[in-house]
A and B are shown apart, each in its own frame.
Chain A
Amino acid sequence: MELLKKYPKTFQWLFLLIVFFALCFAIDVPETYKFIRGQAEFVKDPNQSSYVFLGKEVRYYAFDVFWRLPPLLGWLPIWINDSLFFLMNDWMPIEVWNEDTQEFKSRPIVLQISRNLTAFMTFLIELIREILLGGLETIVAFTSWDWIDKNPWAELPGLPWTIVAAGAALLSYKLSGKGLALFAGLTMVYISVFGQWKPSMQTLSFILVAAPLSFIFGLGLGIAAFKSKRVEKALYPILLVMQTMPQYAVLVPALVLFGVGDHAAVIITMVVAIPPMILLTLLGLRAVPPEVIEAGRMSGCNNFQLMFKVLIPTARRDILIGVNQVIMVCFSMAVISAFIGAKGLGFNLLLALNQLNIGLALEAGLCISLIAILLDKMSLAWANKQTDYFGNLNFYQRNKNLLFFGAIFVIGIVLAYIGTYLFKDTFNYLFEIPHNKGISTADFWNKGVDWIFDTFFIYIKAFNTWLIQDVLQPMRALYLRMPAIATIVLVVGAGYLIGGLRSALVVCALTLFIAFSPWWDRALVTAYMATFGVIVSCIIGFTVGTLCFQNKHSANFMLGVCDIFQTFPSFVYLIPVMMLFGITDTSVLIAVIVYATIPATRYTIEGLRSVPAGLHDAATMSGVNKFQRLTKIEFPLAFPHMMLGINQTIVFALFMVIIGAFIGTEDLGQYILKALSDKKGAGIGLTLGICVAFIALIFDNLIRAYVQKRKKHLGID
């Protein structure tokens, strides 16, 4: 009794675990239960129940409700899908004038809007592509083919790669300095020399369209949310789900609404890139000191002046960090959008991976990584650059950069012109190096991979077998063995113990959504893979982070490494693991671990750093040694922040697990991938995405509740 009073929380947790295990043991696996591997297998199976809701028939295996809940939400994906189709094909037809056939045609309004929107996007993308790569579509759009025939001068070529490369270097120099300028120049030269120019510029044009549009909409919505509590409340849940939804999953509805290609990808990229922009705008505007706002008001600003002359310039840095986020999200979407037919580097990467041509994939991947780092560094440099002001500048000083660019432009064109004589019989390397006509190292890498396989095959295989047979399979079996009711009790109980009734209710709702969806088993497999990844990542991340923290230089170095790795689109991580481990669960898990270790390490270092210096001194004066200081002072105080790291780790791990479906896993991601090639996949893809987001949000809710409590307890905020 004494003990119980002393440690009430411990006993509550103990009780929860006992109930959980009791439920697990009490409820047997039904004899008819099996893990459904594929849809086809499911459809043919005669032992099914079914029900009809809202006119949709849902078929499922009926089990004891304690074992698996019936898919009461099974109608939802079908319903979403049918509604989408109805919207696109039947709802509110309007008369549209058709240029080609010279007659009115009846078209549903949503379809018409979507077509106009995509046409506009296509136009924008084409415009930029033609500047970078040359082409006529845009000019033709304003005139006609006949006009081009009459005015052959209009057939302008694209910019020579030398100009783009030097321009990038110049911009980098202006934003940051020599270092970045050198990096930008070298990256561009590398891209060009290795024959990745065209796909790179395609990807770049994609970003140049998607990022500014996302920025404008994100800023607008952020301002709206800042001004009105109601807007904020309405946006908040959407933002939460969008932040945790795998980017993969949103591609599916985009297919139905906007079709296949760059335009659809741009629109859906905006959907993904706007939420972080909104959040950072809101954050930045909130951080403006109230006295600055009052100073603006007292200066006689009206609302408009207050927003654009006081608030936004003061919040400049946060807003530009938002721009950085937007650019990075756009870039990673540009890669993933290859799945819905966006051209560019991602498409080449996907193609190479599909052919298992690791060398080519590696080259594309390297390009992607380099561009990612470059874009990240440039936009961050922009955010951190403080406005500088010099009074009386003369014309040259004021327009220095413009003049330089002009010079570069002329020199580039002259070079390209000389190139036409130099390279008469081959390609004009000074103008544009065609795809796959540059230097290629693919063969080298392929041979390297072959060599690794030949040499280490036995060891890799042995490791692989051990991991799968002795660790992964049992773990997976354990997860699948959990009766649904036990899982729900565990999760909701944890919610109650950590965050009280409110938390319990939220977590319960999220869990029930997944449990009532037809994919509970898949969600369990996703959870098992993510759990494994998160546990290993956290162990590695905490250890590495703590070790690096011991020395200031190593800590900075590690944070730099984390920065760089974080910029890579998740897809890129699949290349090296496929190289080493082939197409197995091990590959996916290793990619998950590598990817998810980044936030774990980063937050550990940051958390340890945030311990106030005064406490450090106080501890030192109390005569602690280094180890004592770590365990008694630093860890307890850094723990809340490290928990937030775990939160990020979970999100990262889930993203990677889902993308891992590309290699072939049996989780929710597999179904998302399947939905991509399914004409009626929109509803399924969306619901699956929401399921994944909800898994992340369950943990997010628990961890945040815990961290808040703990921070209050420690008196840090």
Chain B
Amino acid sequence: MSKPVIKCENVYKIFGANAEKMLQDSNGNVDAKTFQENGCIVGVNNASFEVSKGEMLVVMGLSGSGKSTLLRCISRLTDATGGKIFIEGQDLLQLNNRDLIDLRRNKMGMVFQSFALLPHKTVVENIAFPLQIKGIKTEDSISKAMDMVKLVGLDGRENYFPRELSGGQQQRVGIARSLAVEPDIWFLDEPFSALDPLIRKEMQDEFLRLQDKLQKTIMFITHDFDEALKLADRIAIMKDGIIEQLDTPANIVLNPATEYVRKFTEEVPREKVLLIKDVMEVSKDNLGDLKVSKDEIIENVAEKILTQEKPVAVVDENNEVIGSINPTKIINTVFGGRKNNN
């Protein structure tokens, strides 16, 4: 496995006057309640994880769970109170101001919930802004920005002002701006939360299309569990600053680590989330004629499988049989074990 692009080790963020001293005294055992009694608010509590290249980590949590704070620690918009953060092996907290600015100018892009566009600049100027800040000549930056305009599908509107665009279009500008410097690491802070449901879905699809093309290393913040399931390679679920569980969507749905996580997964339509490979069995006995790919979503093949009597063969991309799936398993997965008392 390649070196992680983002690596966090025991990251803490505590707000308050004597936060650092309190953190030192607590020896890493931070209890939000005792801290609060002493006038400190715990934002992030002992977060450790890695994100590898090209991976999309979605951080999910309700408001106040510390997910945005975590993101701001990693982009160093706020300084973490304790712990270590490495960006491509560099210790982020040790960087001086100049190196930090360099890092942001070349390696990082960020999209914001409220779009955060500059009201006095046109679409193309907004997108060219990070390039111009870097010191790139106006014509070059504008022509580069025009490529970005095309990438997010805003051609023809490049001379509009943000105030003349709809929310979805504004966020497209935000996305284009964050991509203008061709960053390796892409932070998205609830990028679609301020949008209408229909537009949100459209933007999510668009986002997946872009990611397919660009293969960035992504940290994506959301409070919408469905969105997390739809986009993520891995999901981190946060509560009160603590990462409750960090796992693949399938594992979170199938094996919730805590009661809190389980509550989220209860209502999730599993057939839409789980893949065949998540529920298949290894035995290859007594197979029927039907073959399904291991990467299919259950929903798409459920009907076909359920009409079979024998177990169905599961094949990988080379069309080799790697396991089987029983129709009853499908029924159990979709309907079983959801609400015990209902």
Residues of chain A touching chain B, judged by Cβ–Cβ distance below 8 Å, are 289, 291-292, 294-295, 297-302, 305, 309-310, 313-314, 316, 386-387, 389-391
Which secondary structure dominates chain A's binding surface?
Answer: helix
Whether A313 contacts B116 by the Cβ 8 Å rule is no
B102 to chain A, nearest CB (A): 8
Q: Hey, which chain A residues are within 8 Å of B130, CB to CB?
A: 299-300
A residues in contact with B117, CB < 8 Å: 292, 295
Task: Assess whether B116 is in contact with A297, with CB atoms less than 8 Å apart.
Answer: no
- Nearest CB to that of A298 among chain B residues? B110
Tell me which residues across on chain B come within 8 A of A390, comparing CB atoms.
Answer: 159
- CB of B213 to closest CB in A, whole Å: 22
Closest residue of chain A to B75, judged by CB?
A: A298
The answer to whether A295 and B159 touch across the interface, beta carbons within 8 angstroms, is no
Q: What secondary structure prevails in chain B residues at the interface with A?
A: mixed
A-chain residues with CB within 8 Å of residue B181 when the two chains form the complex: 300
Whether A295 contacts B112 by the Cβ 8 Å rule is: yes
Expressed in whole angstroms, the minimum distance between the Cβ of A297 and any Cβ of chain B is 6
- Tell me if B133 and A309 are in contact (CB < 8 A): yes
Total A-B pairs, Cβ < 8 A: 73
With a cutoff of 8 Å between Cβ atoms, the chain B residues found around residue A297 in the complex are: 77, 104
Check if A313 sits within 8 Å of B159, measured CB to CB.
no
Residue in A291, A300, A301, A390 whose Cβ sees the most chain B Cβ within 10 Å: A300
Q: How far is the CB of B37 from chain A (nearest CB, A)?
A: 25
Which of these, A299, A305, A391, contacts B177 with CB under 8 Å? A299
Interface pair A289/B114, CB less than 8 Å apart: yes
Which segment, of B88-96, B118-126, B313-321, faces chain A?
Answer: B118-126
Interface string of B157-187 (1 = CB under 8 A from A): 0010101000000000010011001000001
* Interface membership of B221, Cβ < 8 A: no
Further contacts, 7 of them, CB under 8 A, given A294-B72, A300-B101, A300-B133:
A295-B110, A298-B75, A298-B104, A298-B109, A298-B178, A300-B181, A389-B161
Indicate whether A389 sits within 8 Å of B122 (C-beta atoms), given known contacts A298-B77, A298-B108, A300-B101.
yes
B158's nearest neighbour on chain A, judged by CB, is: A391
Question: Are A300 and B105 closer than 8 Å at their CB atoms?
Answer: yes
Q: How far, in angstroms, from A588 to B101 measured CA to CA in the complex?
A: 61
B129 at the interface (CB under 8 A from A): yes
Query: Are the CB atoms of A314 and B108 closer together than 8 Å?
Result: no
Within the complex, what minimum Cβ distance (angstroms) separates A125 from chain B? 33
Cβ–Cβ contact A294 & B116, under 8 A? yes
The 12 sampled A-B contact pairs (Cβ below 8 Å) are A289-B116, A292-B117, A292-B118, A298-B109, A299-B133, A300-B105, A300-B134, A309-B133, A310-B118, A313-B120, A314-B120, A386-B163
Interface residues on B, range: 35 or more
User: Does B113 lie at the interface of the complex (its beta carbon under 8 Å from any beta carbon of A)?
Assistant: yes
What's the least CB distance linking A296 to chain B, in Å?
8
B134 contacts which chain A residues (CB < 8 A)?
300
**Once the chains are docked, how many angstroms separate the CA of A299 from the CA of B108?**
8
B187 — nearest CB in chain A belongs to which residue? A298
Q: Which residues of B lie under 8 Å from residue A294 when comparing CB positions?
A: 72, 77, 110, 112, 116
**Least distance between A290 CB and chain B CB atoms (Å):** 9
What is the CB-to-nearest-CB distance from B186 to chain A, in angstroms, rounded to a whole number? 11
In the complex, the answer to whether B101 meets A302 with C-beta atoms within 8 Å is yes
Q: Looking at the assembled complex, report how far the CB atom of A428 sits from the nearest CB atom of chain B, in whole angstroms.
A: 45
Residues of B close to A389: CB separation below 8 A: 122, 125, 159, 161
- Rounded to whole angstroms, the CA-CA distance of A294 and B221 in the bound complex is 16
Chain A residues lying within 8 Å of B174, measured Cβ to Cβ, are 295
Q: Determine the chain B residues whose CB is within 8 A of the CB of A291 once the complex forms.
A: 112-116
* Complex CA distance for A310 and B105, rounded to whole angstroms: 16
Q: Is the CB of B77 within 8 A of A391?
A: no
Q: Which of B110, B120, B125, B133 contacts A301 (CB 8 A)?
A: B133
CB distance from B56 to the nearest CB of A (A): 19
A295 to B189, CA, bound (A): 11
Q: Tell me the complex Cα distance, A299–B110, Å.
A: 8
A295/B116 in contact, CB under 8 A: yes
Return chain A residues, CB-CB under 8 Å to B109: 298
B159 touches A387 (CB 8 A): no
| Contact status of A299 and B129, CB under 8 A, knowing A386-B161, A389-B159, A389-B161 | yes
Smallest beta-carbon distance A317→chain B, Å: 9
* B63 CB, min distance to chain A CBs, angstroms: 15
Distance of A316 Cα from B133 Cα, bound (Å): 20
A316 to B112, CA, bound (A): 22
Q: Which residues of A contact B110 (CB under 8 A)?
A: 294-295, 298
Docked complex Cα distance between A18 and B129 (Å): 67
A294 to B72, CA, bound (A): 9
Q: How far is the CA of A390 from the CA of B158 in the complex (A)?
A: 11
Cα(A301)–Cα(B77), bound, Å: 12
**6 closest A-B pairs (Cβ-Cβ)?**
A300-B105, A299-B130, A295-B116, A291-B116, A298-B110, A300-B104
Task: Give A5 to B134 CA distance when docked, in angstroms.
Answer: 68
Which one of B120, B159, B163 contacts A391 once the chains associate, using CB atoms below 8 Å? B159
- Inter-chain CA distance A316–B120, complex, in Å, is 9
Residue in A292, A305, A313 whose beta carbon sits within 8 Å of that of B133 in the complex: A305
How far, in whole Å, are A302 and B163 apart by their CA atoms in the complex?
A: 26
A587 to B97 CA separation, bound complex (whole angstroms): 64
- Which residues of chain A come closer than 8 Å to B72, judged between CB atoms? 294
A294 to B188, CA, bound (A): 12
Nearest A residue (CB) for B123:
A389
Cβ contacts under 8 Å, B113 to chain A: 291
Complex CA distance for A292 and B116, rounded to whole angstroms: 4
